[in-house]
Amino acid sequence: MIEKLKNHIALNFPLLETKKLLLAASGGLDSMVMAHLFHKLNYEIALAHCNFQLRGMESFGDQNFVQEYAATNSIPLFVTQFDTKAFAEDYKLSTQVAARKLRYNWFYELLETEKFDYILTAHHADDNLETFIINLTRVTGLEGLTGIPEQNEKVIRPLLLFSRQEIENYAKENTIQWREDSSNTSDKYLRNKIRHHLVPMLKELNPNFLSSFHKTQTYLQEAQAMVEDASIIVYQQVAKRDEDNIYFDLNQLKKLPNYKSYLYQWLKEFGFSAWDDIYDLVESQSGKQVFSPEFRLLKDRDSLILSPMNFVNEKEEYLIDENQKEVKIPLNLSFCKVADISIVSNKTIFVDANKLQFPLVLRHWNDGDVFQPFGMEGKSKKVSKLFKDEKLSLIDKENTWLLCSNNEIVWIVGIRQDNRFRIENETQNILKIQLE
């Protein structure tokens, strides 16, 4: 086993040779074999043990066991304890998900503070098979069937090529001690049901099942790589982005025979789960939205717009004093007195300062807002109608600010000036306002 691991590292992870490695050590069979192997191969390692306090004194027995092993073998050790049940209740998580979050958050903290290069976990081939079956019982895309990745950013799983039986045989041959987790014997958890009942049946049907499964997963991973390559090429044809948003051209998208698959590939990383609702957006009316915890997808005419969730407080407003030269929040505006006007644009206006009443107010627009468009003497127009004429999306509307004087609109910032505050022949006090 040790030669097989050496060859595997040399072929797939030669970068580990000179790195500082943090090994996750639960005290169980897999992690203790991994610790033994990397210690014997003279890698620079340290162990990290999490006490989740889920099994009473047994959890502290695991902690003591790992501490004794580290001390005996002169291996640096980091230990932490979590109130996992309280964390799970606070964040409405299952105990297993809560433990995973706590565990990896702490690992990454150690990676940063203690200057480790990689985290190593002891997942093996049977773990990979169990994960595949779990995903198979749920709604999943192709990537859900490709198994546990050998490397995920800074996390490396060097034992995935070994079966549980190989690991146990090695432990017995080398008199490696480990702790048994009593919860592993319970069929309370889905993974244990699969481990105790389904996997033995599959291995009985085909003694080489793990080997066959590994080949199948290799084919699935290759297919997933092809899908990802294709999605990148098509993305460049369909999507455009600015600083905050991604715009998907629906006319281009609907030319694709499998556009739903592309949407799934592009949007899965943003936390969406209501896939049928997302697919329905393509043919929905403008204004329809689908939300993930941190993003939203908006149908706007011939586009789908992906944007981060920015919760707009319609009552949010900012006051601007008469002597104020600039505003940094929520927009970068500058104010200065000038003798003459220069070029007027969407980002620069010139107003008669004597017509203003301070403090000016910078606020969001409301449905009933009315203004007099620049150059249209005495004619009023709803701000909402201007937005429609300008074909602004809902996101653009939410990000639009109004500069007001005594409840009258001076400027729909960056879009249109109000005619009532224009420069006239008799104007003597000109104020230049610019959106930087």
Query: Token digits for 288?
Result: 């329809």
Q: Report the alpha-carbon distance of residue 292 to residue 266 in Å, rounded.
A: 14
List, as own/partner pairs, every contact residues 182-187 make where C-beta atoms lie below 8 angstroms and the sequence separation is at least 24, other chains included. 182/55, 182/58, 183/54, 183/55
- Is the full-model pTM beyond 0.85? no
Q: How far is CA 335 from CA 45, 195, 332, 433, in A?
A: 60, 70, 10, 5
H-run or E-run covering 253? helix 250-253
Q: Report the alpha-carbon distance of residue 330 to residue 323 in Å, rounded.
A: 19
Q: Report the alpha-carbon distance of residue 202 to residue 198 in Å, rounded.
A: 6
List, as own/partner pairs, every contact residues 407-410 make where C-beta atoms lie below 8 angstroms and the sequence separation is at least 24, other chains included. 408/371, 409/369, 409/370, 409/371, 409/383, 410/351, 410/356, 410/360
CB-count burial class (<10 Å; 0-12, 13-18, 19+) for 317: middle
Residue with tokens 């169990």: 130
In this prediction, residue 183 carries a pLDDT of: 83
Q: Report the alpha-carbon distance of residue 51 to residue 278 in Å, rounded.
A: 41
Q: How far is CA 88 from CA 54, 95, 191, in A?
A: 12, 6, 19
Q: Where are the beta strands (DSSP E) in 244-390?
A: 246-249, 289-291, 295-300, 303-308, 317-320, 326-327, 333-338, 348-352, 360-364, 370-371, 381-382
Q: Which residues are annotated as a binding site?
A: 26-31
Per-position b or e across 127-162, b if 16+ CB within 10 A of its CB = bbbbbbbebeeeeeebbbbbbbebeeeebbbbbbbb
**Is residue 310 within 8 Å of 398, Cβ to Cβ?**
yes
State how far Cα 37 lies from the chain centre. Answer: 34
In this prediction, residue 138 carries a pLDDT of: 83
Q: Report the alpha-carbon distance of residue 141 to residue 227 in Å, rounded.
A: 11
In this prediction, residue 312 carries a pLDDT of: 56
> What is the biggest distance separating any 2 CA atoms in the chain, rounded to whole angstroms?
100
Sign of torsion over alpha carbons 381, 382, 387, 389: negative
Provide, for the chain, the percentages of residues in helix, strand and coil under a 3-state DSSP scheme, each rounded to the nearest 5.
45, 20, 35
How many beta carbons lie within 10 A of that of residue 435, not counting itself?
Answer: 18
Q: Which residues are annotated as a binding site for ATP?
A: 26-31
Residue with tokens 């006490």: 51
**Is residue 376 within 8 Å of 417, Cβ to Cβ?**
no
pLDDT one digit per residue (tens) for the chain, 436 residues = 999 999 999 999 998 989 999 999 999 999 999 999 999 999 999 999 999 999 999 999 999 999 999 999 999 999 999 999 999 999 999 998 999 999 999 999 999 999 999 999 999 999 999 999 998 888 777 888 888 999 999 999 999 999 999 999 999 999 999 999 888 888 888 889 999 999 999 999 999 999 999 999 999 999 999 999 999 999 999 999 988 889 999 999 999 988 999 999 999 889 898 999 999 999 999 889 898 888 989 998 899 999 887 755 667 889 999 989 988 888 899 999 998 887 777 899 999 999 999 999 999 888 889 999 988 877 899 998 998 888 888 788 888 899 999 999 999 999 999 999 999 989 999 999 999 8
* List of residues 6+ apart from 158 with CB closer than 8 A: 5, 8, 9, 13, 16, 34, 120, 150
